[in-house]
Chain A
Amino acid sequence: MATIHLRSLSRSFPTQDGQPLPVLVDVDLTVRDRQFACLLGPSGCGKSTLLNIIAGLIPPSAGSIEFEGQDPGSVNIGYIFQEPRLLNWRTVADNLDFALRVKGVPRQERPAVVERYLKMVGLDQFKDAYPLTLSGGMQSRVGIARAFAIRPDVLLMDEPFSNLDELTARQLRRDLLDLWEKERLTVLFITHNAMEAVYLGDVVHIMSHRPAEIFSSREVPLPRPRDYRNPEIFRLQQEIVDQLMARVGELQ
């Protein structure tokens, strides 16, 4: 079980003039076990901060995070970043091996796991290549394989496809969904792309500009696999963009 509850989570950062800058204010959010939740918001609204708090990288200023039935310190978290964040001096296979080693997977089991996950992202032939010799899309795949290989309870993703061209991004979204359907883990996916959110998510939570709060949550009741050409996807995306525009406009 890996249901995440965020309760009145707030975070502010100290600034030069001594006045704390509120980034997140009273965020309440529940991501159900095995749900694919998207968090949509304008750039710089504090989405990444939220993810870093859930990952335990930074503490919240107020509020609480709870992983149902689990101690926050023992939750196995997979994190996929905006950049692939690979160890460039290690081969593709060694990058996965590193994560498994840190997670305490025994040495003799690691090669098989590495092989399996590289195959899943279609990179088994590149296991001995160094990351810098790969294309951006392939590097992203290594990052995805690394995150899945540790068999996380929760997968946090921070705009992982925003630096890629749309064609590559579409392939990777497809692959991500395939992996997710196989492994069925709880995902919180951050994006500023409404189309991406609607295509991927079971639910889309919409965030306002700083200080950020979740002001609307939309279920996406569409069957999978989904198709970008589905007019329903387009309609939902339009609605969400309108909602966001109305909200952000209201603030300005």
Chain B
Amino acid sequence: MPVPAPSRARSSRFENLRLYALSVGVLIGLWAAIAPFFPEFILPGPLAVAWASWELFASGEFFLHMSRTLLRVVAGFLGALVVGILVGVGMGINRQVETFWKMEILIGLTIPGLMWAVISVLWFGLTDFAAIFAIVIITSPMITLNIWEGTKALDTKLVQMARTLRASRGTIVREIVVPQLIPYLLSGTRLGLSLAWKVVVISEMVGLDTGIGHQISHWFGLFSMTKVMAWTFSFTLIMLLLEFGVIYPIERRITRWRPEAKEAFATAQA
């Protein structure tokens, strides 16, 4: 039968949750076990870091900087999405466009993120735009690559099927083409976002006066390992919340029709 037994799915989900908790617990336990052997400016314990993180949340300082970082990532990522979709689809349907951009993508993927972070701060100064520009430049090739692949993999037989029904061009694009591109868009989004987080922190360290990266760099300058770790810890926490609260549910909803995808996620979860 097509519908998997719900009780089994639920129990395996519960099983996964337990393993997640165990995995995190082991990490923190290990940390707590070795921390007492080091001075606080080398490795503060989990409790000290948790307390410092709580202070960041309570004072509102964290949200101030996180919101700036988030704003840059979202703006940069949306820009990269537009570039990626335009170039990727173009490459998928036209040989000359494909050959022209192939080299650019290769170059784009090769140049380290740090270079662009430095270059864009030199060009645009200490502005949000500098970070956004760096994100667009660095994540575009990754998204383009995925959309390009998706466009090439389009099932034209389905387009033919729709044409026998005399479907309009708009209907074909909306109903046949876009749904087939969505899995590629999702994997591009995932990879692109993970790059964007790394780049934004670097940009903020190099030349901005707000954001998570700036704070980490600031406390690094003052040799406060506890603060550096508190910022890192809080940032990671937000990332995980976004991953499990937003990205993963969307991904699951959009790809629920693929039996093999479900299995892959199940194994990825475990």
Instruction: Tell me which residues across on chain A come within 8 A of B179, comparing CB atoms.
Output: 87, 89
| A77-131 interface with B by 8 A CB criterion | 77-79, 81, 83, 85, 87-90, 98-99, 102-103, 126, 129-131
| B227-259 interface with A by 8 A CB criterion | 256-259
Question: What range describes how many residues of A lie at the interface?
Answer: 20 to 34
* Smallest beta-carbon distance B155→chain A, Å: 8
A87 and B176 in contact (CB under 8 A), knowing A132-B259, A134-B2? yes
Binary B-proximity of A124-150 (CB < 8 A = 1, otherwise 0): 001001111110000000000000001
Instruction: Tell me which residues across on chain A come within 8 A of B257, comparing CB atoms.
Output: 88-90, 130-132
* Smallest beta-carbon distance A118→chain B, Å: 15
A contact patch SS:
loop
Q: Is the CB of A129 within 8 A of B2?
A: yes
Q: Is the CB of B167 within 8 A of A130?
A: no
Q: Is the CB of B164 within 8 A of A87?
A: no
Query: B175's contact among A81, A87, A131, by CB below 8 Å, is which?
Result: A87
* Smallest beta-carbon distance A79→chain B, Å: 4
Question: A92 CA to B34 CA in the complex, in Å?
Answer: 57
Q: Is the CB of B164 within 8 A of A55?
A: yes
Question: A100 CA to B182 CA in the complex, in Å?
Answer: 24
Query: A133's contact among B2, B157, B167, by CB below 8 Å, is which?
Result: B2
Number of interface residues of B (CB under 8 A): 21
* Smallest beta-carbon distance A156→chain B, Å: 8
Query: A57's contact among B164, B182, B256, by CB below 8 Å, is which?
Result: B164
B68 within 8 A of A: no
Question: A108 CA to B257 CA in the complex, in Å?
Answer: 26
Question: A133 CA to B4 CA in the complex, in Å?
Answer: 10
Instruction: Tell me which residues across on chain A come within 8 A of B83, comparing CB atoms.
Output: none
Instruction: Tell me which residues across on chain B come within 8 A of A77, comparing CB atoms.
Output: 164
Q: Is the CB of A79 within 8 A of B164?
A: yes
Q: Is the CB of B258 within 8 A of A132?
A: yes
* Smallest beta-carbon distance A65→chain B, Å: 15
Residues of chain A touching chain B, judged by Cβ–Cβ distance below 8 Å, are 55-57, 77-79, 81, 83, 85, 87-90, 98-99, 102-103, 126, 129-134, 150, 156
Q: What are the nearest 3 A-B pairs in CB distance?
A: A133-B2, A79-B164, A130-B257
Task: Give me 6 other A-B pairs in contact (C-beta within 8 A), A85-B158, A87-B176 excluded.
Answer: A87-B158, A87-B179, A89-B257, A102-B166, A130-B259, A132-B258
Q: List 16 A-B contacts (CB under 8 A).
A: A56-B164, A57-B163, A81-B161, A85-B158, A85-B161, A87-B175, A88-B257, A88-B258, A90-B257, A102-B165, A102-B166, A102-B167, A126-B2, A130-B256, A133-B2, A150-B165
